[in-house]
């Protein structure tokens, strides 16, 4: 019997050392980093696997997510999708990208850049864009930061930038097309497809969150913001796009806004409201893009769409409110 070997009176030099019982194979524990995206299945940190091809992020429980060719992670689990293609429609997203790229909302973009810069003092600022869409405002923040797409200090696009705060950009949207287009902007941002009602980040990570015409979850936003962190909610002012809506509705309709729930939320205190109002002249096919990027498209009749498509120019007010809140949670 094996167990008797050590007891028999053999020459001790012939006795084999005790061999440990083989253990079930365990994967080496992955380095945990709480600045990373977390796994939507088990909430563990997702870690980039060395030399994996395609680049793969994996958690300790072996759930893995391939980095898309454009450089984003799709963390939206099939069971959390309410439809096959959640979020804004592809047509809406492409129209919005063309319209925003044409610079019509530059005044809003400037106000967001200024508000984000004011929101935080320090050498580094981590900014999360909730419902980032196709990434226009993130790119504007990157350009204003003076750090190029690869994080270099001097950026040819903005050589005069004097901002010394290093900007770390994170963005998420539930629309895969939107995130793919945002990734193509090549703006050194970490991007994920997921819902703002289930943010794939650990708590207390974000200095400043922005939400431009997008939904938010008060609880989730407060959880990922650092104590004292800021939330900048951008929504429509009362006269937003009045020149367009006058051609669609018989009576002007009040805007719903996207700050419902924040006024009463114990987690947030309103610090200030910044108003941006300007008259713009939209020309040519940009008019139809403007219509298509808004919910007004669904409310307009085919003959109204045809009439707008034939217009050479449309003069309208644009009117935004930027509400800056402070996170009171700790
Ligand atoms: C009006 S668009 C604004 C996009 C972008 N912030 C901008 O201003 O260009 C609203 C965005 O919210 C996204 N969205 C809707 N529900 C969402 C959710 N539950 N989680 C994340 N994004 C969502 C849509 O896909 C869309 O891109
Ligand atoms: Zn996992």
Best mutation site among 85, 174, 234 for ligand 1 pocket (most ligand atoms within 8 Å of CB): 174
**The domain spanning residue 214 has which CATH number?**
3.40.50.150
pTM for this model (two decimals): 0.89
Long-range contacts at 216-223 (CB < 8 A, ≥ 24 apart)? 216/130, 216/131, 216/258, 216/262, 218/261, 218/262, 218/265, 218/267, 218/268, 219/267, 220/196, 221/130, 221/196, 221/267, 221/327, 222/265, 222/267, 222/268, 222/327, 222/328, 222/329, 223/199, 223/329
Verify that 141 and 290 share a domain, yes or no. Answer: yes
Verify that 163 and 199 share a domain, yes or no. Answer: yes
Percent of the chain with pLDDT over 70: 85
CA 15 – ligand 2 centroid, Å:
46
Residue 166: the pLDDT is 95
C-alpha R_g of the chain: 26
Tell me, yes or no, whether 263 lies in a domain.
Answer: yes
Q: How many domains does the chain have?
A: 2
Q: Beta strand pairing status for 189-193 and 225-236?
A: unpaired
Verify that 88 and 60 share a domain, yes or no. Answer: no
Tell me, yes or no, whether 73 lies in a domain.
Answer: no
Tell me, yes or no, whether 138 lies in a domain.
Answer: yes
Cα atoms in the 13 Å half-sphere on the side-chain side of 290: 28
Verify that 57 and 184 share a domain, yes or no. Answer: no
Verify that 321 and 249 share a domain, yes or no. Answer: yes
Verify that 89 and 131 share a domain, yes or no. Answer: yes
Per-residue pLDDT of 133-164, as tens digits, reads 999 999 999 999 998 765 454 445 555 555 67
Residue 183 CB–ligand 1 contact under 6 Å:
no
Verify that 31 and 146 share a domain, yes or no. Answer: no
What stretches in the chain show pLDDT beneath 70?
1-29, 149-163, 252-254, 256
Look up the domain containing 155 and give its range: 78-327
Ligand 2 ion: residues within 5 Å (CB): 39, 41-42, 44, 59, 61, 63
Verify that 172 and 87 share a domain, yes or no. Answer: yes
What order do you get walking across the sheet with 47-48 strand by strand? 47-48, 56-58, 64-66
Residue 147: the pLDDT is 86
Which phi and psi angles does 140 have, rounded to 5°? Answer: -65, -40
Verify that 88 and 193 share a domain, yes or no. Answer: yes
Verify that 85 and 56 share a domain, yes or no. Answer: no
Verify that 215 and 110 share a domain, yes or no. Answer: yes
């Amino acid at each position: 019997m094996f167990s008797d070997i050590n007891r028999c009176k053999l020459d001790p030099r012939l006795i084999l050392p005790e061999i440990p019982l083989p253990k079930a194979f365990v994967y080496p524990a992955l380095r945990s980093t709480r600045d990373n995206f977390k796994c939507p299945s088990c909430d563990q940190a997702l870690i980039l696997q060395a030399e994996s091809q395609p680049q793969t992020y994996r958690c300790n429980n072996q759930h893995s997510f391939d980095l898309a060719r454009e450089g984003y992670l799709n963390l939206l689990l099939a069971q959390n999708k309410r439809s096959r293609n959640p979020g804004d429609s592809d047509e809406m997203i492409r129209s919005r990208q063309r319209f925003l790229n044409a610079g019509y909302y530059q005044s809003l973009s400037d106000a967001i850049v200024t508000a984000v810069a004011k929101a935080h003092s320090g050498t580094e600022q981590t900014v999360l864009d909730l419902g980032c869409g196709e990434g226009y405002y993130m790119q504007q923040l990157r350009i204003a930061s003076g750090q190029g797409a690869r994080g270099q200090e001097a950026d040819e696009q903005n050589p005069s930038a004097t901002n010394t705060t290093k900007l770390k950009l994170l963005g998420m949207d539930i629309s895969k097309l939107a995130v793919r287009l945002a990734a193509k902007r090549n703006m050194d941002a970490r991007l994920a497809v997921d819902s703002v009602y289930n943010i794939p980040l650990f708590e207390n990570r974000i200095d400043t969150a922005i939400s431009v015409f997008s939904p938010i979850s008060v609880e989730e936003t407060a959880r990922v913001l650092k104590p004292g962190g800021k939330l900048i909610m951008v929504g429509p002012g009362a006269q937003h796009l009045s020149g367009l809506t006058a051609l669609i509705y018989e009576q002007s309709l009040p805007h719903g806004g996207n700050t419902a729930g924040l006024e009463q939320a114990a987690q947030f205190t309103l610090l200030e409201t910044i108003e941006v109002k300007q008259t713009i002249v939209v020309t040519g096919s940009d008019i139809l893009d403007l219509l298509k990027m808004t919910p007004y498209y669904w409310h307009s009749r085919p003959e109204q769409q045809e009439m707008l498509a034939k217009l050479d120019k449309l003069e309208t007010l644009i009117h935004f409110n930027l509400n800056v809140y402070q996170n009171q949670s700790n």
